[in-house]
């Protein structure tokens, strides 16, 4: 009697719980003897990294104006094109698209710092369900506005005010996709974060090299994104226990969005 009742109540509670469980967007499995992708990203173009002029409007209090002018400086090296003498491109996001199964993504939090009127780091990776830690190291007002870049529009993720120096705000990463950061008070500031559910995202180093490991064998599309070049996508086949080589060369530039805000 009691058993039937208990059984019924438990089942009655479980059924709705099960129905709410959505099909997971990314399934974590054990990857043994997975494959890898490795390569170098170059460009065939001759590019020059511009110097961005910084214009601080004067405020009523000249001391405040002085502090802001000193902290931000008069110009900033943009840092769009960091290309080695052998045309290897740094700071390219290498993203494996449409991965449904694989190893677990790390739970590391991403720290982004407002420092000397720049976002540091310029390009970084964050994982869904970890946290963003946004810091302000400058003695001035910054606001950090994060937005995910949809096909042709930007959708706000967070817009946080950081008026104090050494202030830190922690927020959960709930949205996947390519996210850009801007500061409304300083229109030249920008940063890019790729927020991923899976761990198969990386950034090229100073030699344009990248490496992705422990992928389940199969055919993948890899996307190469950089703020100053038109993006490239390439198909690659990953075989168990082997590392596939995938090099790419950017052949077209594009104007980064933040230059339009100046």
Binding site for other proteins (CB under 8 A): 1, 4-5, 8-9, 11-12, 15-16, 19, 56-60, 140-141, 143-147, 150, 153-164, 167, 169, 171, 174-175, 184-185, 187, 260-261
Quick one: 25 or 116, whose CB is closer to other proteins? 25
CB of 200 to other proteins, least distance (A): 21
Residue 88's beta-bridge partner residues? Answer: 42
CB of 195 to other proteins, least distance (A): 12
Quick one: 78 or 82, whose CB is closer to other proteins? 78
Pairing of strands 177-182, 190-196: antiparallel
DSSP-H helix ranges across 125-188? none
**DSSP label at residue 46:** -
Which of 252, 200, 261 is closest to 229 using CA atoms? 252
Quick one: 172 or 252, whose CB is closer to other proteins? 172
Quick one: 8 or 33, whose CB is closer to other proteins? 8
Residues listed for the chain = 262
Quick one: 42 or 182, whose CB is closer to other proteins? 182
- Output the DSSP codes for 178-207: EEEEE-SSSTT-EEEEEEESSS-EEE--TT
**CB atoms inside a 10 Å sphere around CB 249:** 16
Which of 15, 173, 27 is closest to 100 using CA atoms? 27
CB of 96 to other proteins, least distance (A): 20
CB of 171 to other proteins, least distance (A): 8
CB of 120 to other proteins, least distance (A): 19
Quick one: 5 or 86, whose CB is closer to other proteins? 5
CB of 91 to other proteins, least distance (A): 24
CB of 4 to other proteins, least distance (A): 6
Q: Does an H or E element contain 243, and which?
A: strand 243-245
Quick one: 62 or 85, whose CB is closer to other proteins? 62
State how far the Cα of 162 lies from the Cα of 168, in Å rounded to an integer. 8
Asked if 242 and 217 touch (Cβ cutoff 8 Å), the reply is no
| CA atoms within a 13 Å half-sphere pointing along the CA-CB vector of 203 | 18
């Amino acid at each position: 009697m009691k058993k039937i009742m208990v059984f019924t109540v438990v089942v009655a509670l479980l059924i709705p719980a099960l129905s709410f469980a959505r099909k997971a967007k990314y399934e974590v499995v054990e990857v043994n003897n997975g494959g890898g992708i490795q390569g170098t990203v170059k460009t065939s173009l001759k590019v020059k990294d511009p110097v961005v002029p910084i214009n601080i409007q004067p405020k009523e209090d000249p001391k405040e104006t002085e502090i802001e002018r000193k902290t931000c400086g008069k110009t900033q090296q943009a840092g769009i094109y960091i290309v080695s003498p052998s045309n290897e491109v740094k700071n390219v996001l290498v993203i494996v698209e449409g991965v449904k199964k694989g190893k677990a993504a790390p739970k590391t939090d991403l720290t982004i710092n407002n420092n000397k009127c720049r976002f540091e780091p310029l390009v970084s990776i964050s994982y869904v369900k970890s946290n963003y830690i946004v810091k302000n190291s400058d003695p001035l007002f910054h606001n950090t506005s994060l937005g995910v870049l949809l096909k042709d529009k930007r959708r706000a993720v967070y817009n946080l005010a950081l008026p104090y120096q050494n202030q830190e705000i922690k927020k959960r990463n709930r949205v996947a996709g390519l996210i850009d950061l801007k500061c409304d008070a300083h229109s030249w500031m920008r940063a890019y974060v790729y927020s991923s559910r899976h761990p198969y995202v990386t950034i090229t180093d100073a030699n344009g090299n990248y490496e992705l490991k422990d992928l389940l064998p199969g055919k993948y599309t890899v996307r190469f994104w950089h703020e100053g070049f038109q993006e490239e996508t390439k198909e690659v086949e990953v075989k168990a226990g082997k590392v596939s080589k995938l090099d790419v060369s950017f052949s077209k530039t594009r104007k980064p969005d933040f230059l339009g805000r100046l």
